Amino acid sequence: MQRILFRYKTCLLVIVAGLFFLKGECQLKLNLSTNEAALKVTVRQELQLGAFTQGSSGGSISVSPQDIRSASGTVIPLNFGSNYHALVLEIEGAKGAIVSMIAGETIVLTGSNGGTMRLLIKGTSPLMPFVINEDAPAKSVIKIGAELIAGNSIESPPGNYSGSLNISFIVE
Burial 4-40 (b: 16+ CB within 10 A, else e): bebebebebebeeeebbbbebeeeeeeeeeeeeebbe
| HEC letters along 38-99 | CEEEEEEECCECCEEECCCCCEEEEECCCCCEEEEECCEEECCCCCCECEEEEEEECCCCEE
Give the Cβ contact number of residue 145 at 10 Å: 22
Question: Amino acid identity of 22?
Answer: L
Q: Count CB-CB contacts under 10 A for residue 107.
A: 19
Give the mean model confidence (pLDDT) for residues 20-33: 33
Q: In this structure, are residues 149 and 71 in contact, taking their beta carbons and an 8 Å threshold?
A: no
* CA separation for the pair 43, 25 (Å, rounded): 10
Q: What is the mean pLDDT of the chain?
A: 76
pLDDT at 20 over 70: no
Would you place residue 147 in the very low, low, confident or very high pLDDT band (cuts 50, 70, 90)? very high
pLDDT tens per residue across span 56-115: 888 999 999 999 999 999 988 888 777 889 999 998 888 888 888 887 778 888 888 888
In sequence order, which residues have a C-beta less than 8 Å from that of residue 35 and are 6 or more positions away? none
The yes-or-no verdict on residue 172 having pLDDT over 70 is yes
| Separation between Cα atoms, residue 64 and residue 79, nearest integer Å | 17
Residue 123 pLDDT > 80:
yes
In whole angstroms, what is the distance from residue 46 CA to residue 43 CA? Answer: 7
Asked if pLDDT for residue 26 goes beyond 50, the answer is no
Q: What pLDDT sits at residue 2?
A: 52
Per-residue pLDDT band for 3 (boundaries 50, 70, 90) equals low
